[in-house]
């Protein structure tokens, strides 16, 4: 007796049909072009990793660890599906001998998180990352912000890049008398400041035994802008605050030309604890989606700790969220009715000649589909209209005998007689 199989996708995973996938391919191709323009090289890392690599130094209660898809192989080894492309990149740098630094790479690949599902947040999704190892300072961070802005502009999305410093956040928290072992938890709460109301935040602080007055003072500090924080702590002896402000101010000096597309946000933390310095998140200016479209930051300790040879291996990277970009572009008219086929050929007892013509047109660079099921001409034209194919050729015996064919423009209805195949270039271009 056959087992009954439930045919459906796991929640947060999807089949992308041609009209959807062509948009996703367009996003990938556009970003690859931008990444290579900035000198980043392609890299691919495994989807399956050792669990210990993914877990790193996280506490078992960390939300991110709870979202890792865990599995074992036949050798009973503990494995997991990667939740981002940064950790596998760090592993690759560590185990690759004689790699010249600085090293700049891009990778576009699937990652997996067993978390809540909502628009722009799936369980299986593609990240489009660039990372660089071996460069200190904020000049490279400014270049990544430039890459962010140019990449999204190329995709037709006007964005704002928010930035902050994890170092500054930690310093401001310690300055208020919070114990070191609570800093990471407090950062997680502060990161929710623009997501939940203050009453809920104060309840979160209570769980850490931080009283209301101390919590309110913290929140008031994280509502200051960068100029106010600079003024308030200009004479501080807190090393984390000093370094955080130094790095943020240097970054600001590099990104003045992008003032309409950047914004300091004191509460921005990013979810991963591996960030050590400045962090970034990208949002659509017109709020087409409320969630972030991408993010990243500096993580100087990860590769340094992996290699552990006494040297420092500074690293910084950013990620474009393909799923969120896709959700924006799929609603736009220019992507709804665009065909990947340039020309559709309908043979009338001319299959061999039609196949030969199709190949000649393909050699000229056109995308050509060929009717092979002997459907009636009327049905073929209905198909071409539904698929928004711009040009159709009906090739019959008369056309073959007289060395010509008619190219029909499906938008205007005009038919152009083609006696030399090279004529088609000017006609389609026009």
pLDDT tens track for 176-215: 888 888 888 889 888 887 777 888 888 888 888 888 888 8
Given a contact cutoff of 8 angstroms between Cβ atoms, the answer to whether 65 and 87 are in contact is no
259-287 pLDDT, tens digit each? 999 999 999 998 777 899 999 999 999 88
**Read out DSSP for 154-197?**
HTT--EEEEEEEHHHHHHHHHHTT--GGGHHHHHHHHTTTTTS-
pLDDT at 427: 79
Q: What pLDDT is stored for residue 60 in this prediction? A: 61
Q: How far apart (Å, rounded) are the C-alpha atoms in residues 5 and 245?
A: 58
Residues of the chain with pLDDT under 50: none
Over the stretch 112-144, which tens digit does the pLDDT of each residue have?
999 888 877 899 999 999 999 999 999 999 999
Q: Output the pTM of the full model.
A: 0.87
CA–CA dist 370, 380 (Å, integer):
10
Between helix 18-37 and helix 322-329 the angle, nearest 10°, is 120
* Percentage of the residues of the chain whose pLDDT score is greater than 70: 98
415-418 sheet: strands from edge to edge: 368-370, 343-347, 391-395, 405-409, 415-418
Q: With the C-alpha atoms ordered 415, 419, 422, 423, is the resulting torsion angle positive or negative? A: negative
What is the residue-wise DSSP string for 23-71? HHHHHHHHHHHHHHHTT-EE----SEEEHHHHHTT--TT-HHHHTS-EE
Cα 95 from chain centroid (whole Å)? 26
What is residue 145's predicted lDDT score, i.e. its pLDDT? Answer: 97
How is 382-430 classified by DSSP, letter by letter?
HHHHHTT-SEEEEE-HHHHHTT-EEEEETTT--EEEESSTTHHHHHHH-
Domains of the chain: 18-329 (3.30.930.10), 339-429 (3.40.50.800)
Give the pair of three-digit tokens for residue 380.
């073929």
């Amino acid at each position: 007796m056959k087992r009954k199989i439930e045919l459906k996708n796991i929640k947060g995973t999807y089949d992308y049909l041609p009209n959807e996938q062509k948009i996703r391919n367009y996003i990938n191709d556009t970003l690859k072009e931008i990444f290579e323009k900035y000198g980043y090289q392609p890299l691919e890392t495994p989807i399956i990793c050792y669990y210990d690599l993914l877990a790193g130094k996280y506490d078992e209660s960390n939300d991110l660890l709870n979202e890792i898809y865990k599995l074992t192989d036949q050798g009973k080894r503990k494995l997991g599906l990667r939740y981002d492309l940064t950790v596998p990149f760090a592993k690759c740098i560590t185990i690759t001998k004689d790699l010249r630094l600085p090293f700049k790479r891009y990778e576009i690949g699937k990652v997996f998180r067993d978390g809540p599902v909502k628009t722009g947040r799936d369980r299986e999704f593609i990240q489009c990352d660039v990372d660089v190892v071996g460069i200190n300072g904020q000049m490279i961070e400014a270049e990544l912000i430039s890459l962010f802005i140019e990449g999204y502009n190329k995709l037709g999305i006007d964005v704002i890049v928010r930035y902050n410093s994890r170092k500054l956040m930690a310093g401001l928290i310690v300055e208020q008398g919070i114990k070191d072992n609570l800093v990471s938890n407090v950062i997680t709460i502060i990161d929710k400041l623009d997501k939940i109301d203050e009453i809920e935040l104060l309840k979160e602080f209570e769980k850490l035994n931080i009283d209301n007055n101390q919590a309110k003072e913290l929140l008031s500090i994280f509502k200051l802008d960068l100029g106010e924080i600079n003024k308030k702590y200009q004479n501080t002896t807190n090393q984390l605050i000093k370094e955080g402000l130094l790095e943020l101010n240097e970054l600001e000096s590099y990104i003045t030309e992008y003032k309409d597309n950047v914004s300091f946000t004191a509460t921005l933390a990013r979810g991963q604890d591996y960030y050590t310095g400045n962090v970034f998140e990208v949002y659509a200016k017109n709020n087409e989606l409320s969630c972030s479209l991408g993010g990243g930051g500096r993580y100087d300790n990860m590769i340094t700790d992996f290699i552990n040879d006494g040297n420092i291996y500074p690293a910084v990277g950013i990620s474009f969220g393909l799923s969120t970009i896709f959700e924006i572009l799929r609603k736009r008219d220019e992507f709804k009715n665009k065909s990947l086929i340039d020309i559709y050929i309908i043979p009338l007892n001319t299959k061999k000649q039609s196949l030969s013509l199709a190949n000649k047109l393909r050699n000229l660079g056109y995308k050509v589909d060929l009717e092979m099921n002997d459907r009636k001409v009327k049905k073929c034209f209905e198909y071409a209209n539904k698929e928004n194919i711009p040009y159709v050729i009906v090739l019959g015996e008369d056309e073959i005998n007289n060395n010509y064919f008619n190219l029909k423009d499906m938008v205007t209805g005009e038919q152009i007689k083609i006696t030399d195949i090279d004529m088609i270039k000017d006609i389609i271009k026009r």
